[in-house]
A and B are shown apart, each in its own frame.
Chain A
């Protein structure tokens, strides 16, 4: 075997290792690069900044955002509204989900209400809520209405589908309810809840920003988007930059949830996957 073929084999092995370990990440990066490349090409070809700004212009606008004090204040305010809506929906959904999972009659009673909030258009609900609440509370309420059905359904389903064989075993050995909750219901519900929270928080950010746009909530990502859209000369790049901020918030929240999930699962090995 020659020295060059040994080198080639080693390089192939390293490439194979990288592909096996990071193939998914590499493909995702390739997709982003392809998308941005296509964007840049179309923007250059179109030559209409107000319709589709170049990606480089969006990056400049995004960079400019970081230099303005209102960026931090208003992004934080939007995030706080989203977190408030999520937290209230989480606790209310979990409490009612427990009742729905335990009492099938209660679940039947709640079914039409939950189905209504699942199906109702976000914009329509926002318009209704705007009549009842002040602009700064409307996004919180809309976030709540988007997240609540997801959490409620997940908790109720996780209780209704708790492993019957383990519950039978617990009944035979007269295990107290506190232990049944801790060792049977919670481990069964945790993976479902993380998945639901991840979906719900992304939905929540979208709904909160949409409600801010419609309600003209002062000091919010939504109102900055409205203002940027009104500025035909320089606004579109800024609009895309704010859109990027909203997406980043969603991605960061998902990463945070994934991290918490990983820490929780590490506690149990692979037992509850």
Chain B
């Protein structure tokens, strides 16, 4: 999947200027970078929430795990999935079962814990049968044990769906643990200062940390 010659600005603040990016099909790409560099904007562009000022993005059916679960407050767990036109009842139940919420179909969002709500959001993203899954720090703010559990659930579901995924995160360990490729965005306008595959986790972790903390952007 390609993003060609992409440009986007919020008023006078240029976020991307002639950005080129290729996403590998059927792989998880983690995107890291300083706060405000444009990581979430990149996801919004990929999802079609905002159009680019110039450039081209291949159109895809998108599933999105937001930072917050973004569930419809008046619908129970099952109907939150069924509200998405591309999800049928059998698919919704299957994915909810897969995230361990098979017995919580009738609960309303305000009756769910943070972890349960995020699992509903995860089930919705996978059940939508998307061909591009976007994740915007979906495990942020959860306690470590819950985070680890959700990483496991996500990894299991992803192995089954094998969807092309872009995951924005601030957590180097999370990126290296889940993704096969890591990009680091820095600067204004943002550019890719690190683009590496995760073959050896320790080496990748050290390289990503160096790219994130280096005063002078380095390009590999």
Which residues of A approach B to under 8 Å, CB–CB? 165-166, 168-169, 171-176, 179, 183-184, 187, 268-272
Partner of B72, one of A168, A172, A176, A184: A184
Structural contact, A166 and B72, CB atoms closer than 8 A: yes
Structural contact, B73 and A187, CB atoms closer than 8 A: yes
For A174, list chain B residues within 8 Å (CB).
Answer: 84-86
Report how far A218 CA is from B126 CA in the complex, Å.
68
Structural contact, B83 and A183, CB atoms closer than 8 A: yes
Report how far A169 CA is from B72 CA in the complex, Å.
10
Partner of A169, one of B64, B109, B111: B64
For B86, list chain A residues within 8 Å (CB).
Answer: 173-174
Partner of A271, one of B66, B70, B73: B73
For A269, list chain B residues within 8 Å (CB).
Answer: 108, 110-111
For A168, list chain B residues within 8 Å (CB).
Answer: 49, 66, 70
Structural contact, B73 and A172, CB atoms closer than 8 A: no
List the count of A-B residue pairs having beta carbons below 8 Å apart. Answer: 57
Main secondary structure of the interface of B (DSSP, over half): loop
Structural contact, B83 and A271, CB atoms closer than 8 A: no
Known: A165-B66, A165-B70, A271-B73. 9 other contacts (CB 8 A): A171-B48, A172-B63, A173-B84, A173-B86, A175-B84, A187-B72, A269-B111, A271-B74, A271-B110
Total chain B interface residues with beta-carbon distance under 8 A: 23
- Interface membership of B75, Cβ < 8 A: yes
- Interface membership of B27, Cβ < 8 A: no
Q: For residue B138, give the distance in angstroms from its CB to the closest CB of chain A.
A: 13
For A173, list chain B residues within 8 Å (CB).
Answer: 63-64, 83-86, 124, 128
- Interface membership of B178, Cβ < 8 A: no
- Interface membership of B68, Cβ < 8 A: yes
Partner of A183, one of B48, B72, B124: B72
Structural contact, A183 and B49, CB atoms closer than 8 A: no
Structural contact, B74 and A179, CB atoms closer than 8 A: no
- Interface membership of B45, Cβ < 8 A: no
Structural contact, B75 and A183, CB atoms closer than 8 A: yes
Closest to B64 in A: A172
For A270, list chain B residues within 8 Å (CB).
Answer: 110
Report how far A216 CA is from B99 CA in the complex, Å.
70
Partner of B68, one of A165, A171, A268, A272: A165
